[in-house]
Amino acid sequence: MINIRVDVVLPCLNEAQALPWILDRMPVGYRAIVVDNGSTDGSAALARSLGARVVHESRRGFGAAAHAGLLAATAPIVAFCDADASMDPRDLPLVVDPIGADEADLVLGRRRPTTRNAWPPHARLANTYLSWRLRRITGVNIHDLGPMRAARREPLLALDLIDRRSGYPLEMFLGAAAANWRIREVDTGYAPRVGRSKVTGTVRGTLTAIKDMSALLRTDRRTPAAVNTLSIRNEARS
Ligand SMILES: Nc1nc2c(ncn2[C@@H]2O[C@H](COP(=O)(O)OP(=O)(O)OP(=O)(O)O)[C@@H](O)[C@H]2O)c(=O)[nH]1
Ligand SMILES: [Mg+2]
């Protein structure tokens, strides 16, 4: 029996086309937790048939799915990876190993495009600007708020993340920085997604992401008042 060292949370909204490739590329000792966010393309049944653990989250939103995966995880280390084949699970040890070696508390994969059209120019620009702001706010030297990442499960739960939409990865980073975690960035590959684009490739998705992230940056999440504001905002959305 393989010892599961890492649970890999894969938020999934209609990613049946990408799942076989992703699940086939999980490193040994890494367990896939596919969080089905109300897919209508058979993603959940497919993931189960391919041996993944499947968790259901009915509330829409990237953060809702990612957090449901974190709550379902039991391994000491939890990693996150998009389920659209834009990221290669074989890169996961790059973010996990520094955590296992106790050299970092949060490791983020900086997306390095593997082809010219992997990352639309507007999304790259927005991300460059966001990273610049984050360097100024936190002093952490990051260049991308990459969704492939890893941390220890228990401290991550203790961050008490509240955002349930596209601000979740940002809130995790801000919470980790506020708690003085050792945050490290490593290069990871980024390929064109398989299947229809939902966020970055669409104007609506990009605007929603900018709105969610701007709201977080306006609030200082370290103060109780900010946490209350965030929680009220999230309630209003559901
Ligand atoms: N957009 C979106 N993605 C979700 C949701 N729930 C789970 N996901 C998954 O979260 C991951 C990231 O979403 P993506 O749609 O790839 O977002 P993105 O990479 O910014 O943009 P595109 O790849 O262009 O769609 C994917 O694996 C989605 O299937 C949700 O409610 N909305
Ligand atoms: Mg994607």
Q: Residue 148: give its domain's CATH number.
A: 3.90.550.10
Query: Quick count: other Cβ atoms within 10 Å of Cβ 45?
Result: 13
Amino acid 41: pLDDT: 97
Task: Give distance in angstroms: CA of 223 to centre of ligand 2.
Answer: 32
Question: 164-190 as b/e, with b when 16 or more CB fall inside 10 Å?
Answer: bbbbbbbbbbbbbbeeebebbbbebbb
Closest listed ligand to the CA of 86: 2
Segment 201-210 long-range contacts (CB within 8 Å, at least 24 positions apart): 201/120, 201/123, 206/122, 206/123, 206/126, 208/165, 208/166, 209/126, 209/166, 210/126
Q: What is the largest CA-CA distance in the chain?
A: 48
Is there a domain that residue 33 lies in? yes
Q: Which residues line ligand 1 (CB under 6 A)?
A: 11-13, 15, 37, 60-62, 65, 82-84, 86, 193, 197-201
**Residue 82: domain span:** 6-237
In the chain, the number of structural domains is 1
How far is Cα 34 from Cα 15, in angstroms, rounded to an integer? 10
pLDDT in tens, 107-160: 999 999 999 888 888 888 888 999 999 999 999 999 999 999 999 999 999 999
Closest listed ligand to the CA of 8: 1
Query: Using CA positions, which residue lies closest to atom 12 of ligand 1?
Result: 82
Residue 85 tokens, joined: 């084949």
pLDDT in tens, 180-212: 999 999 999 999 999 988 877 677 777 788 888
The angle subtended at Cα 195 by Cα 189 and Cα 197, nearest 5°, is 80
In one letter, which amino acid is 138?
Answer: T
Is there a domain that residue 1 lies in? no
**Most informative mutation of 62, 111, 193 for ligand 1 (most atoms within 8 A of CB):** 62
pTM of the model: 0.91
Is there a domain that residue 198 lies in? yes
**Most informative mutation of 84, 117, 148 for ligand 1 (most atoms within 8 A of CB):** 84
pLDDT band at 20 (very low <50, low <70, confident <90, very high): very high
Q: How far is CA 236 from the centre of its chain?
A: 23
Is there a domain that residue 165 lies in? yes
Task: Give distance in angstroms: CA of 42 to centre of ligand 1.
Answer: 16
